[in-house]
DNA sequence: ATCATTTGATACCCGGAAGGCATCATGTTT
DNA sequence: AAACATGATGCCTTCCGGGTATCAAATGAT
């Protein structure tokens, strides 16, 4: 394999068409340059220059090789620059997981903010439930998650993004929508309930269980995605407790009713990340966010 | 400037993630390899590998640099070949990028056509996704691409080669294969979907998103190569939307189902090239093609 | 025709870089 | 705690690349 010095030498000679001047340009003397080119030609296996003891010309193979040589040099000069940019967090890829619910509320503004702080970093978005985000953060497939508690604060660091209240999704025209007052637990006694999955959406499940004594009899479905829940409500399969941002989904034939004051616990959405940060772009983001918060 | 040996050393270590094995592969001992990498890191100005006294991992800067290093090595290996070809009297080399999907349909006939128009030009084929082809065309590493929209028509000129319809790839014996009718969007409601990468395979991604109401919930993988998608389908990981030519891949345990008429949008394959043409062989090809089309 | 000039190639020498061997340092496993 | 695994370091030797001096061939002026 040839060396970069040989390429640089060849480029210089090809441009000057004169060994002496090329050598001067390269801050060396002519003899080693001559040998460099000879060696290069031997490695390439083709004559690149025609020496005619009075002038130097490029062969057609030499012209083609000059192209390649320039390309190689340009690439070789750029490579460390990009590597340094990534190491400093100024560019690269940030893999962000988000839950369906957050996608309809905070994700847009958050992306705008990210674009302000790390504009050269590509954001790779993946919609995942909290559990998937946690395992993604552990394996390093994900850099940042937008998810709900609980998660292990030993391994994950986090920042509270916002709280929102829970509301009840009911099919349009349902008797409860006619109530003049806020909803209470009593109102659900005989209503079929679409429940959160205790494994996939543990946070909501625990929350709802805490809010009202469940009557398992009435649980008609257990699902993990808010969107799915609301769709089922729209289809008249029952009621569901969903975070307020679900109202932004724009699903037809569903109404959202506020819960009795005090009973409507609030749910949280956190930005969270693995404490063992490996992605410089994330390190930079967090550092700049710290500054912004103080 | 670093040397090709350092690049080769880095690539070996990055692939083996083990200095000893990498050294063995390079027919050298471990100590000089360690120093080689250290020197390379010093030159690049960034940590490329994380040594943890038990295992070696790539930093994100290292990942990016690995990419560049591979490109450099590939380019460096190809350069002498093209030079020799030209020196041996053939009039040039045309470097053609193609997508895996096009490789199974149009590539064969196209090569025949090229051989008719520019018989003395060697064709250098590389399988690349659309995004890689575009960057290759920009840097001049590629002369001609066979790829799908979108691309910037300011910098690239193109010619539509053909259209084909999309089909659904399902694991053999899947319930949907028993359906007597064509598939509709409703049929996927609860099916895991193997999705195209929004960055690497933007065209397909946009198309599929357009075809069926976003149900991110069911996306199990995002991949960029059609072949990978079909393999994942074969492995029973889910369904996938692929162009009709994927049926030619001959992968076992996959069936392809047509989409409901009207819903199955057609996808396009274009031949495209950089408007700033530098390769005379490409100029000749295009000129002769113009003649043929008139 | 001869000789000075130009320009790339060759001969020879020297310093530094890269590889090999032996060994160290550190973390893991039994 | 001892053996093991694995990357880093120290030291020696070899070889490659650059420098100086010189050669070789072609040109052109007298």
Kindly indicate the confidence band of residue A41, based on its pLDDT and cuts at 50, 70 and 90: very high
Higher pLDDT, A93 or A189: A93
* DSSP tag of B60: H
**Other CB atoms within 10 Å distance of the CB of residue A37:** 22
Residues of B in contact with A127 (CB under 8 A): 216-217, 219
* Nucleotides on strand D lying under 7 Å from protein C-beta: 6-10, 17-22, 25-27
pLDDT at B215 over 60: no
Contact B290, B157 (CB under 8 A): no
Q: What is the mean pLDDT of chain B?
A: 85
> Max CA-CA distance within chain A?
104
Distance CA A127, CA B4 (A): 41
Rounded CA gap, A267 and A93, in Å? 30
Range list of H helices, chain B = 4-16, 19-25, 30-44, 60-87, 100-103, 107-117, 130-139, 202-211, 226-234, 280-293
Residue A61 DSSP SS3: helix
What is the C-alpha separation between A108 and B134, in angstroms, rounded?
29
pLDDT winner (highest mean) among A53-57, A284-288, B86-90, B222-226:
A284-288
pLDDT greater than 70 at residue B214: no
Q: Does domain A4-87 have CATH number 1.10.760.10?
A: no
Half-sphere exposure of residue B242: CA atoms within 13 angstroms, side-chain side = 32
pLDDT higher than 90, residue A7:
yes
A80 to chain B, closest Cα gap in Å: 5
**Distances from the Cα of B54 to the Cα of A278, B18, B51, B57, angstroms:** 17, 9, 7, 10
Instruction: Output Rg (C-alpha) for chain B, integer angstroms.
Output: 23
Pairwise CA distance, residues A191 & A197, whole Å:
18
Which residues, 6+ apart, have CB-to-CB distance to A211 below 8 Å?
A166, A185, A241, A259, A263, A265
Tell if A4 CB is < 7 Å from nucleic strand C: no
- By CB atoms closer than 10 A (0-12, 13-18, 19+), residue A22 is buried
Ramachandran bin of B176, using left for φ above 0, alpha for ψ from -120 to 50, beta for the remaining angles = alpha
Do A96 and A142 form a contact (C-beta atoms < 8 A)? yes
Mean pLDDT, rounded, for A126-153: 85
Query: Above pLDDT 90, what percent of chain A?
Result: 25
Beta strands in chain A (DSSP E): 49-51, 56-58, 92-98, 121-127, 144-147, 156-171, 193-196, 219-223, 239-243, 254-258, 266-274
| Burial per residue of B111-122, b for 16 or more beta-carbon CB atoms within 10 angstroms, e otherwise | eeebeebbeebb
Pair of tokens at residue A38: 């000879």
pLDDT at A215: 57
Question: Using CB atoms, which residue from B48, B64, B79 is nearest to A82?
Answer: B64
Contacts of B221 (CB under 8 A, 6+ apart): B194, B195, B232, B237, B238
Bridge partners, A169 (sequence order):
A240, A256
CB nearest A46 (choices: B1, B84, B139): B84
Q: Compute and round to an integer the Cα radius of gyration of chain A.
A: 32
- Residue A69: pLDDT band (50, 70, 90) is very high
* Residue A259: how many other CB atoms lie within 10 Å: 20
Over 80: is that where the pLDDT of B235 sits?
A: yes
Least confident of A231-245, B14-28, B172-186: B172-186
Fold designation for A92-161+269-293: D-Maltodextrin-Binding Protein; domain 2 (3.40.190)
Round to the nearest angstrom and report the end-to-end CA distance of chain A: 55
Confidence of residue B226 (pLDDT cuts 50, 70, 90): confident
Q: B105 pLDDT exceeds 70?
A: yes
Contact B79 A100 (CB under 8 A): no
Which of the listed ranges A53-57, A210-214, A225-229, B112-116 does the model predict with the highest average pLDDT?
B112-116
Ranges of beta strands (E only) in A29-78 are 49-51, 56-58
Longest distance between any two alpha carbons in chain B, whole Å: 67
pLDDT tens sequence across B48-103: 999 877 788 999 999 999 999 999 999 999 899 999 988 887 778 899 999 877 77
Confidence of residue A190 (pLDDT cuts 50, 70, 90): confident
- pLDDT given at position B31: 93
Question: What nucleotide is nearest A36 when CA is compared to C1'?
Answer: D17
Tokens in use for A44? Answer: 């390439």
Of all residues in chain B, the one with the smallest CA distance to A282 is B60
Among all protein residues, pick the one whose CA is nearest to the C1' atom of D5: B54
Is the pLDDT at B289 greater than 90, yes or no? no
Question: Shortest CB distance from A44 goes to which of B2, B71, B80?
Answer: B80
DSSP state of B183: B
CATH class of the domain at B163-266: alpha beta
Q: Do domains B4-75 and B80-161+269-293 have the same CATH topology?
A: no
Q: Is the pLDDT of residue A219 over 80?
A: no
Confidence of residue B262 (pLDDT cuts 50, 70, 90): low
Structure tokens at B133: 């082809």
Confidence band, pLDDT 50/70/90 cuts, at residue B106 = confident
Distance between the alpha carbon (CA) of A29 and the C1' atom of C14, Å = 16
B219 pLDDT above the threshold of 80: no
* Better-predicted residue by pLDDT, A60 or A181: A60
Confidence at residue B120, expressed as pLDDT on a 0 to 100 scale: 87
DSSP class of residue A124?
E
Q: Could you tell me which residues are beta bridge partners of residue A254?
A: A171
Q: Which nucleotides of C are covered by protein (CB under 7 A)?
A: 7-11, 18-23, 26-28
How distant is C1' of C1 from CA of A53, in Å?
Answer: 22
Give the C-alpha separation, B169 to B225, whole Å.
14
Q: Which residue has the higher pLDDT, B221 or A154?
A: A154
Instruction: Report the pLDDT averaged over residues B243-257.
Output: 86
CATH T-level assignment (fold) for domain B80-161+269-293: D-Maltodextrin-Binding Protein; domain 2 (3.40.190)
pLDDT at residue A262 in the model? 63
CATH architecture of the domain B4-75 equals: Orthogonal Bundle (1.10)
pLDDT of B133: 92
Residue A144's SS3 state is strand
Q: What is the pLDDT of residues B119-166, one digit of tens each?
A: 888 888 988 888 889 999 998 889 999 988 888 999 999 999 888 888
**Mean per-residue pLDDT of chain A:** 85
- pLDDT band of residue A282 (cuts 50, 70, 90) is very high
Q: Is the pLDDT of residue B294 over 60?
A: no
Q: Where are the beta strands (DSSP E) in chain B?
A: 49-51, 56-58, 92-98, 121-127, 144-147, 156-171, 193-196, 219-223, 239-243, 254-258, 266-274
Topology of domain A164-267, per CATH?
Answer: D-Maltodextrin-Binding Protein; domain 2 (3.40.190)
What are the residue ranges spanned by the domains of chain B? 4-75, 80-161+269-293, 163-266
Q: Identify whether the C-beta of residue B242 lies closer than 8 Å to the C-beta of residue B166.
A: yes
Quickly state the pLDDT bin for B236 (edges 50, 70, 90): confident
- Contact, A28 CB vs strand C, < 7 Å: no
């Amino acid at each position: 394999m040839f060396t970069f010095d040989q390429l640089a030498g060849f480029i210089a000679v090809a441009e000057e068409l004169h060994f002496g001047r090329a050598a001067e340009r390269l801050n060396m003397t002519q003899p080693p340059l001559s040998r460099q080119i000879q060696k290069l030609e031997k490695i390439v296996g083709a004559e690149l220059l025609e020496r005619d003891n009075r002038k130097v010309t490029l062969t057609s193979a030499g012209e083609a090789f000059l192209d390649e040589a320039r390309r190689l040099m340009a690439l070789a000069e750029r490579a460390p620059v990009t590597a340094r940019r990534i190491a400093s967090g100024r560019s690269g890829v940030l893999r962000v997981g988000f839950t369906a619910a957050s996608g309809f509320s905070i994700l847009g503004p958050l992306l705008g903010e990210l674009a302000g702080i790390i504009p050269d970093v590509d954001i790779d978005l993946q919609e995942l439930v909290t559990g998937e985000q946690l395992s993604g953060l552990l394996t390093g497939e994900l850099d940042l998650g937008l998810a709900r508690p609980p998660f292990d604060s030993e391994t994950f660091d986090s920042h509270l993004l916002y709280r929102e209240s829970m509301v009840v999704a009911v099919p349009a025209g349902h008797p409860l929508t006619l109530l003049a007052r806020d909803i209470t637990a009593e109102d659900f006694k005989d209503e079929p309930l679409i429940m959160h999955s205790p494994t996939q959406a543990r946070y909501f499940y625990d929350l709802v269980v805490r809010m009202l004594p469940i009557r398992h009899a009435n649980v008609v479905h257990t699902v993990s995605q808010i969107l799915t829940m609301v769709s089922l409500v729209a289809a008249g399969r029952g009621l569901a407790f969903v975070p307020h941002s679900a109202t932004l989904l724009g699903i037809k034939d569903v109404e959202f009713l506020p819960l009795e004051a005090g009973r409507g616990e609030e749910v949280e959405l956190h930005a969270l990340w693995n404490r063992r940060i490996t992605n410089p772009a994330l390190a930079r983001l967090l550092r700049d966010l710290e500054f912004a918060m103080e």
